[in-house]
C-alpha cells in the first residue's frame, strides 16, 4: 500500500479538528502555475482529465481520475491508498463516496468552486448533507514548502536558468519568436520540465511580455522572457531581459533601477511582514525615480506571486495584501515595469523566505544581457 | 485522446485576417443572429476557457491561453469580449480576435456596463455557460437579477457548427501537414536510436518550430499496449514504438499515432478495412486496442475531440466533417495503432488529409 504524503497527514488532523468525516478535493485537468492543484497536493500525481481525491478521516484515501487508459500510471504514482483511472468520472466518484459511507456523512469539498457548474451540481447531488466548501485547504496546508518540494523548486530554477542560457545562444536577428520559443521550450522539457509557463517576446519598445508570435527578431530588439518550468509539481519563474546588439546608457540605467527595486523587495520580505510592505519597498524605488504613476496596471501587473501547483501562497504581491510572509514560503518576486524611455523590462527571481529576508533560488540573478546582432 | 493540459498555450494566436477575414465571422454569426431575432433574445453570451473553447473560438477566433473568456453578442450593436486577464496583457489579447471592444473580465463593471445597454427586461441566450465555475455564474446571475433571464442556446452553436466550413477545412488541412511532419520526425528519431521520450520531443520541437500553437504527446513505454504522458524518463526504448502527437495550428487540431514494429502491419490493414467502410450511413466498428477504449476516432477541429467518440453503433459519419480515425491491434505483448484524418464527401468518397507512419 502506498505511503500517504505529509499533506495528507495534516489534512487528517484538520478533519479531526473540524469534526468532519472526510473531504473531496478536485482538479479539472487544467494546471495553473499560479494556483494549488488540490489533487496533486494530496495524491502527488497530475491527472490528464478531471480528478478527485476522496479522504476519509478514518483512513481511506482514493484517487479517481480520467481517463481509463491512464489507470496504470495513476496506480504507480499516486500516494493515496487507492487509485483508479476511469472514463466515467462522476459515476466512479459517486460509487466511491457510497462505498466509503461518505455520501451520508459530514464532509467538505476542496476546489469544487473552481470546477464547472455541471460538475458542481452533480457533486452536490451525491451528498445527503450539503458539503462544506473549503476551497483554500490545499493551498493553506502546502503554504510552506517541504524539504523535497524546496529541492524540486531549486531544480526547476536550475532548468529555467539553463533555458535562458539557451535563449541567449539561440536568439539572433532573422529568427521568429515562435522558433526561438520552440527551441527553448523543448530544450527545457528535455532536461526535465514537465510543464512551462513560457512567455517570450521581443520588440524595440515592449508594452508587456506576451506569448511568442510570428515577429522576426531584429537588431535593437529587447527580448523579454518569463521562463517558468515545472519540476515534480513545483513551478519556478525567472524574469529576464536581453538586448540584441548594444544597450543604450539609458537602458542600462533603467534596468539598474529594477535591480535596485528587487533588492529592496528581498530585504523587506521577512517572516511576519505583510506582503504589502515588500511591494511598497519595490514601488518606492521606482517612485523615487519618477515612475510612481506607472506602478499600476496596465504598466505592470503585480510585484510577484505564488507559484503552483502545491500552493498559491503568499498570493499576488500587491500594495494592499495583508498576507504575512512565513519562513519557507516560495514565490517569485519581480519588479517588472513599463518605463517610458525603454518600454517594459523584466527582472525577477524565485525566492524562499528566510529569517533574514528573501533568498534567491537562482545561481545568477537577473542582469541586462546581450545577444550578438 | 485526453492529454496533459499545459499551464499556458505558448504559440502565436494572432488573427490572420487573410485566412480568416471578417466576412467569415459574419457568416458564422448569422445563425446566432437569426436565433436572437426569432426568439426575441437581447444578446447571446458565449463562454469558453483554456481547456474547452470551440464555440467561443468559432464565433470570435479568441482562444483563452489560460483561465476564461466570454463574448457578449447583442442582437443589435457591437459585441464585447471579456477576458480573464490583466489590463497589462490586453493589447496582445486584442490581436487574437475580430472583436474591437475587448475588456478585462477582472473588472466586472465591463459586463454590467454592456448589459445596461441592452433592451430590458429581456432574455439572454447562453452558450456553454455550464462550463463556467459556480463562482463566476453567481456573479453573472447577481448582475442580471430581475432584469434578464437566461435561456440555453447550445443547440444554436451546435447547428451552426454541424459541418466544418471550407475555411475551417483549409486550416485543419494545414494542421494535418504539421502533424504529419511531427509524426515523421518521431519515427526518424526512433529509427536513429532515440528513446521514446526523446523521439516524441523531436516531433514536438519540429511542430512548434512550424508555428504550432500547442503540441500534445503520449508515448508507450511497454511496446504499444498503454499510453502515458511525458514523465522526463529518457531511457525507455521498448521493442516497438507507439506514440501519439496532436498539434494545434491557427486554432485547429490535427492528430496522428506513430507505430513502428509490433503488429503495425495488422493495424494498417485494420485501418484500410475501416476506411473502405467509412462512408455516410455505414456502421462504425470498434477498435480493439485497450488504450483506445473501443473508439474508432472522433470529429476533430477547434477541439481535439469534437463531439462523441465513434464507438460501435455510433452515429454514422457526416459528409463535410473532418474525422480523426484510428485502428489498433495487439499481438504477443506489443501493440500498434494506425491513424488517418479523413473528410467524407457527399458522394460516398472521402479525402485523406493525412495518414500516420505505421510500419
* Lowest model confidence (mean pLDDT) among A28-37, A72-81, B53-62, B335-344: A28-37
Radius of gyration of chain A (CA): 22
Cell (9 digits) for A44: 502527488
The pLDDT tens digits along chain B (359 residues) read 999 999 888 887 889 999 999 999 999 999 999 999 999 999 999 999 999 999 999 999 999 999 999 999 999 999 999 999 998 889 989 999 999 999 999 999 999 999 999 999 999 999 999 999 999 999 999 999 999 999 999 999 999 999 999 999 999 999 999 999 999 999 999 999 999 999 999 999 999 999 999 999 999 999 999 999 999 999 999 999 999 999 999 999 999 999 999 999 999 999 999 999 888 777 787 778 989 988 999 999 999 999 888 888 777 688 899 999 999 999 988 999 999 999 998 888 899 999 999 99
Question: Which chain A residues touch B2 with a CB distance below 8 Å?
Answer: 29, 48-49, 66-67, 70
Q: How many CA atoms lie within 13 A of B281 on its CB side?
A: 5
Q: What is the pLDDT of residue B76?
A: 93
| Alpha-carbon gap: B11 to the closest alpha carbon of chain A (Å) | 6
Task: Collect all residues of chain A within an 8 Å Cβ-Cβ radius of residue B14.
Answer: 213-214
Q: Is the pLDDT of residue A240 over 80?
A: yes
Backbone angles phi, psi at B126, to 5 degrees: -130, 140
**B67 CB burial (10 A radius; 0-12, 13-18, 19+):** middle
Q: How distant is the Cα of A119 from the closest Cα of chain B, in angstroms?
A: 9
Class of domain A6-141: alpha beta
Do the Cβ atoms of A63 and A53 come closer than 8 Å? yes
**Chain A stretch 244-283, residues whose beta carbon is closer than 8 A to a beta carbon of chain B:** none
Nearest residue of B to residue A122, measured between CA atoms: B130
The pLDDT of residue B287? 79
Can you give the residue ranges of every domain in chain A? 6-141, 147-371
| A 150-169: CB under 8 A from B | none
- C-alpha triplet A228, A185, A207: angle, nearest 5°: 60
Q: Is the ipTM of this complex over 0.90?
A: yes
Cβ neighbours around A173 below 10 Å, total: 15
- Whether residue A301 and residue B86 make contact (CB cut-off 8 A), yes or no, is yes
Q: Is B293 on the interface with A (CB under 8 A)?
A: yes
Residues of A in contact with B88 (CB under 8 A): 207-208, 297-301
pLDDT exceeds 90 at position A174: yes
Q: What is the pLDDT of residue B88?
A: 87
| The Cα angle at residue A301 between residues A298 and A306, in degrees rounded to 5 | 170
Q: Which residues of B touch A184 (CB under 8 A)?
A: none
Determine which helix (DSSP H) or strand (DSSP E) holds A349, and give its type and residue range.
Answer: strand A349-354
B201 touches chain A (CB under 8 A): yes
Write out the DSSP string of A303-347. SEEE-TBT--TT----TT--PBP-TT-EEEE---EEETTTEEE--
Measured between alpha carbons, how far is A54 from A306 in angstroms, rounded to an integer? 26
Residue of B nearest to A198 (CA): B10
C-alpha cell at A277: 510592505
Which chain A residue's Cα is nearest to B222?
A: A72
Strand order in the sheet with B43-49: B101-104, B80-83, B68-74, B43-49, B122-127, B148-152
Q: Among B155, B135, B132, B128, which residue's Cα sits nearest to residue B303?
A: B128
Range A147-371 has CATH code 3.30.200.20: no
Tell me the chain B residues in contact with residue A39 when contact means C-beta distances shorter than 8 Å.
none
pLDDT attached to residue A5:
87
Looking at 3.90.550.10, 3.30.70.600, 3.30.1330.10, 3.40.350.10, the CATH number of the domain B22-160 comes to 3.40.350.10
Rounded Cα distance between B198 and B217, Å, is 11
Q: What are phi and psi of B154, to 5 degrees?
A: -55, -35
Kindly report the CATH number that applies to the domain delimited by B166-355: 3.90.230.10
Q: How far apart are CA A370 and CA A368, in angstroms?
A: 7
Contact at 8 Å (CB) between B211 and B177? no
Residue contact A213–B14, C-beta within 8 A? yes
Chain B neighbours among A 313-372 (CB < 8 Å)?
A: none
Residue A187's nearest CA partner among A171, A165, A209, A202 is A165
- Say yes or no: B198 contacts chain A, CB-CB below 8 A: yes
Residues of B in contact with A46 (CB under 8 A): 4
Distance from CA of B278 to the nearest CA of A (A): 26
Domain map of chain B by residue range? 22-160, 166-355
H-type helices in chain B, by residue range? 22-39, 54-60, 90-94, 109-116, 134-144, 154-160, 166-191, 196-209, 264-277
Amino acid at each position: 500500500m502506498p505511503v500517504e504524503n505529509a499533506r495528507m497527514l495534516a489534512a487528517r488532523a484538520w478533519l479531526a479538528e473540524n469534526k468532519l468525516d472526510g473531504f473531496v478535493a478536485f482538479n479539472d485537468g487544467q494546471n495553473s502555475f499560479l494556483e494549488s492543484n488540490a489533487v496533486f497536493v494530496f495524491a502527488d500525481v497530475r491527472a490528464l482529465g478531471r480528478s478527485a481525491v476522496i479522504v476519509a478521516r478514518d483512513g481511506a484515501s482514493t484517487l479517481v481520475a480520467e481517463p481509463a487508459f491512464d489507470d496504470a500510471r495513476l496506480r504507480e504514482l499516486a500516494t493515496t491508498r487507492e487509485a483508479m483511472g476511469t472514463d466515467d468520472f462522476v459515476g466512479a466518484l459517486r460509487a466511491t463516496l457510497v462505498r466509503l459511507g461518505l455520501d451520508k456523512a459530514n464532509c467538505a469539498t476542496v476546489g469544487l468552486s473552481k470546477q464547472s457548474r455541471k460538475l458542481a451540481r452533480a457533486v452536490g447531488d451525491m451528498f445527503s448533507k450539503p458539503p462544506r466548501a473549503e476551497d483554500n485547504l490545499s493551498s493553506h496546508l502546502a503554504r510552506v514548502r517541504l524539504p523535497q518540494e524546496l529541492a524540486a523548486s531549486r531544480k526547476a530554477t536550475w532548468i529555467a536558468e539553463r533555458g535562458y542560457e539557451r535563449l541567449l545562444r539561440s536568439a539572433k536577428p532573422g529568427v521568429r519568436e515562435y522558433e526561438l520559443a520552440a527551441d527553448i521550450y523543448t530544450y527545457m522539457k528535455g532536461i526535465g520540465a514537465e510543464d512551462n509557463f513560457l512567455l517570450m517576446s521581443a520588440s524595440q519598445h515592449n508594452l508587456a511580455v506576451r506569448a511568442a508570435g510570428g515577429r522576426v527578431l531584429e537588431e535593437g530588439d529587447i527580448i523579454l522572457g518569463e521562463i517558468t518550468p515545472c519540476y515534480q509539481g513545483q513551478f519556478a519563474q525567472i524574469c529576464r531581459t536581453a538586448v540584441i546588439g548594444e544597450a543604450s546608457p539609458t537602458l542600462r540605467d533603467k534596468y539598474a533601477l529594477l535591480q535596485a527595486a528587487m533588492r529592496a523587495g528581498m530585504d523587506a520580505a521577512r517572516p511576519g511582514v505583510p506582503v504589502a510592505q515588500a511591494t511598497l519597498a519595490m514601488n518606492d524605488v521606482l517612485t523615487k525615480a519618477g515612475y510612481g504613476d506607472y506602478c499600476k496596471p496596465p504598466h505592470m501587473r503585480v510585484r510577484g506571486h505564488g507559484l503552483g501547483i502545491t500552493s498559491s501562497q503568499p498570493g499576488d504581491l500587491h500594495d494592499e495584501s495583508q498576507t504575512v510572509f512565513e519562513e519557507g514560503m516560495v514565490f517569485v518576486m519581480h519588479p517588472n515595469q513599463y518605463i517610458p524611455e525603454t518600454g517594459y523590462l523584466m527582472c525577477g527571481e524565485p525566492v524562499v523566505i528566510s529569517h533574514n529576508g528573501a533568498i534567491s533560488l537562482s545561481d545568477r540573478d537577473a542582469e541586462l544581457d546581450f545577444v550578438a546582432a | 485522446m485526453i492529454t496533459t493540459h499545459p499551464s499556458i498555450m505558448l504559440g502565436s494566436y494572432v488573427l490572420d485576417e487573410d485566412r480568416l477575414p471578417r466576412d467569415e465571422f459574419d457568416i458564422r454569426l448569422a445563425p446566432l443572429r437569426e436565433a436572437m431575432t426569432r426568439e426575441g433574445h437581447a444578446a447571446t453570451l458565449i463562454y469558453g476557457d483554456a481547456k474547452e473553447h470551440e464555440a467561443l473560438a468559432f464565433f470570435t477566433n479568441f482562444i483563452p491561453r489560460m483561465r476564461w473568456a466570454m463574448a457578449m453578442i447583442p442582437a443589435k450593436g457591437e459585441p464585447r469580449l471579456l477576458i480573464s486577464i490583466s489590463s497589462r496583457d490586453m493589447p496582445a489579447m486584442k490581436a487574437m480576435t475580430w472583436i474591437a471592444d475587448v475588456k478585462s473580465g477582472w473588472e466586472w463593471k465591463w459586463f454590467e456596463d454592456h448589459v445596461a445597454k441592452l433592451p430590458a427586461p429581456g432574455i439572454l441566450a447562453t452558450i456553454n455557460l455550464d462550463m463556467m465555475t459556480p463562482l463566476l455564474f453567481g456573479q453573472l446571475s447577481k448582475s442580471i437579477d430581475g432584469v434578464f433571464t437566461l435561456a440555453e442556446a447550445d443547440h444554436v452553436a451546435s447547428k451552426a457548427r454541424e459541418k466544418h466550413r471550407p475555411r475551417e477545412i483549409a486550416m485543419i488541412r494545414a494542421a494535418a501537414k504539421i502533424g504529419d511532419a511531427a509524426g515523421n520526425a518521431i519515427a526518424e528519431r526512433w529509427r536513429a536510436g532515440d528513446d521514446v521520450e526523446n523521439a516524441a520531443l523531436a516531433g514536438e520541437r519540429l511542430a512548434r518550430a512550424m508555428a504550432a500553437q500547442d503540441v500534445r504527446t503520449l508515448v508507450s513505454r511497454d511496446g504499444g499496449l498503454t499510453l502515458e504522458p511525458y514523465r522526463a524518463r529518457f531511457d525507455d526504448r521498448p521493442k516497438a514504438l507507439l506514440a501519439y502527437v496532436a498539434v494545434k495550428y491557427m486554432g485547429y487540431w490535427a492528430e496522428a499515432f506513430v507505430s513502428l514494429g509490433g503488429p503495425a502491419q495488422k493495424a494498417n490493414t485494420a485501418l484500410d478495412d475501416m476506411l473502405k467502410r467509412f462512408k455516410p450511413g455505414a456502421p462504425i466498428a470498434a477498435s480493439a486496442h485497450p488504450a483506445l477504449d473501443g473508439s474508432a476516432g472522433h470529429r476533430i477541429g477547434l477541439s481535439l475531440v469534437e463531439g462523441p467518440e465513434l464507438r460501435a453503433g455510433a452515429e454514422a459519419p457526416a459528409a463535410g466533417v473532418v474525422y480523426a480515425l484510428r485502428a489498433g491491434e495487439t499481438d504477443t505483448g506489443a501493440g500498434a495503432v494506425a491513424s488517418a484524418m479523413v473528410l467524407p464527401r457527399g458522394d460516398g468518397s472521402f479525402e485523406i488529409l493525412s495518414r500516420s507512419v505505421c510500419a
